[in-house]
A and B are shown apart, each in its own frame.
Chain A
Amino acid sequence: MARPSLRSCLALTVLGLLVGCSGSSDTTVSVFAAASLSDAFTELEAAFEAEHPDIDVLVNLAGSSALAAQIVEGAPADVFASADEANMERVATLLDAPATIFATNRLQIVTEAGNPLGIETLDDLSDPSVLFVTSALDVPIGRYSADVLARANVDLRPVSFEESVKGIVTKVRAGEADAGIVYATDVIAAGSSVTGVDIADDFQVVARYPIARLTNREASTTFVDFVLSTRARSILDDFGFGAP
């Protein structure tokens, strides 16, 4: 009797794996959010779940372009919060309702803690000894960063094109790169481990964050409404995100 029971155990295990990995229950909402929203959305998730104990929020954080690519490929997202409008546009045909801008962000130069090279302006970045990191142009921060530099008429040779804004912060924080251009919220999140340098208003680009639901489930609508609420607004404020 031992052998058949082993066999059926095996079969059950395989079946269990197949079943266990698929399907989601009705009370979860899957939120795809831009990497720059990481900390704010972790907080928003906790606040939302406190208000709606019956709904479980699953946040998938990555570069907006990666998320858009995943959604286009059929990833099961209920809500998409992008760091730019271009990537929201890429999933436009899949949206269940039009996107709404829920937050804005400013750009800052990020340097090592204490700004040892004394970088004050965008021009200072063009010194050939400054190791400057940015992102690929398809990543929102790479696009914004290129826009800022174009406005200031500064031509740079980056040493690396990171896959998301977090990569830029990591390299600068570790002291391997001297500077990068990131969101003001990233500088706040990194605390004392980096120093932010303001960019002159003439060259500043405002990043606009749209949010939209991809499914017409009640949980999706509830979550989007929450992100647009005053409660969420004050949380976003805490993390340095501006009002739309």
Chain B
Amino acid sequence: MNRRTRTTRPPIGIVVLAALAVAFFTLPFAGLLWRAPWSDLVDVIREGAARQALWLSIQTSILATLVAVVIGVPLAWVLARIDFPFRNVVRALATLSMVLPPVVGGVALFFSFGRRGLFGQYLYDWFGIRLPFTTAGVVVAQAFVAMPFLVLTVESAFRQFDIRYEDVARSLGASRWYAFRRITLPSIRPAIIAGLVLAWARALGEFGATITFAGNLPGTTQTMPLATYIALESDPGAALILSIVLIVVSFGVLIGLRDRWLGNPHEVIRP
């Protein structure tokens, strides 16, 4: 096996800093769990508003991830494989929404795809399609902020993939598409899954672009993050419960997917 296990002592400084990082990530959740009114758990979940928001969040985040895959993977391939002028500019554009404050992203979506937007006015006039205040608008907002995570991850995998494998397959008579499907895709599968998970997680947690572009209406555009934020002002206990539900769902998915699809790292130190 190429998996090496070392028994040397791990460097203490790094371990201490890593422990600090773990504490930094864990302590806020500890605070959340500590303050949560556990006796209200059943009531809040039974109330329906929470379930409605969770269900909407799950649906929209999956749809947004699908959108990201369908157009994001081809984009990643183009960025990695085709040399064209201004490729760096295109790459920067494709990842801009990652650094943009989501609220600004939401406003930008307004001015482009809103009812009076640059393109949205034609969607509305010609097809009667209106994105703001609709569930489709939520998906657009989520895909807008989540796709860069998938594009970046997959593009870097395409770059690292040794293209000679494809060449060999083609020299043996495989079609271009067959080689891509049977050779390239399977070898970058971990990166695609990782990108998928990152994009999905970003979509699930999306708040700023959603409330700005799609508004906040229970059952239509009020996803879990919005429901949590609104509840925080009136009923902090309910907000904490909503957060915990969201944490449990995402934590489960993240752990499940990582172990199942990404495998273990190749070199580990066993203390």
Contact = CB atoms under 8 A, between A and B. Distances in A.
Interface residues of A, number: 25
A175 B115 contact: yes
Interface in A148-190: 158-163, 167, 170-171, 174-177
Interface string B72-112: 00000000000000000000000000000000000100110
A136 interface: yes
B116 A69 contact: no
Nearest to A164: B233
A159 B217 contact: yes
B213 to A, nearest CB: 8
Nearest to B214: A160
Contacts of B234: 65, 136-138
Interface string A18-38: 000000000000000000000
A133 interface: yes
Residue from A65, A131, A174 whose CB has the most chain B CB atoms within 10 Å: A174
A65 B239 CA distance: 14
B133 A160 contact: yes
A73 B132 CA distance: 34
B230 A161 contact: yes
Contacts of B215: 133, 159-162, 171, 177
B217 A163 contact: no
State the main secondary structure of chain A at its contact with B: loop
Nearest to B230: A136
Contact of A65 (B217, B222, B233): B233
B212 interface: yes
A163 B236 contact: no
B195 interface: no
Residue from A63, A139, A171, A177 whose CB has the most chain B CB atoms within 10 Å: A171
B250 interface: no
Nearest to A7: B13
A229 to B, nearest CB: 31
Contacts of B110: 174, 176
Contact of B236 (A69, A133, A137, A162): A69
B114 A175 contact: yes
A66 interface: yes
B230 A176 contact: no
A163 B229 contact: yes
Given A170-B212, A174-B111, A163 B230 contact: yes
Nearest to B110: A174
A162 B111 contact: no
Interface in B198-238: 211-212, 215-218, 221-222, 229-230, 232-234, 236
Interface of A: 63, 65-66, 68-69, 73, 131, 133, 136-139, 158-163, 167, 170-171, 174-177
Interface of B: 107, 110-111, 114-116, 132-133, 211-212, 215-218, 221-222, 229-230, 232-234, 236
Nearest 8 interchain pairs by C-beta: A160-B215, A175-B116, A138-B234, A65-B233, A159-B133, A176-B132, A176-B114, A174-B110
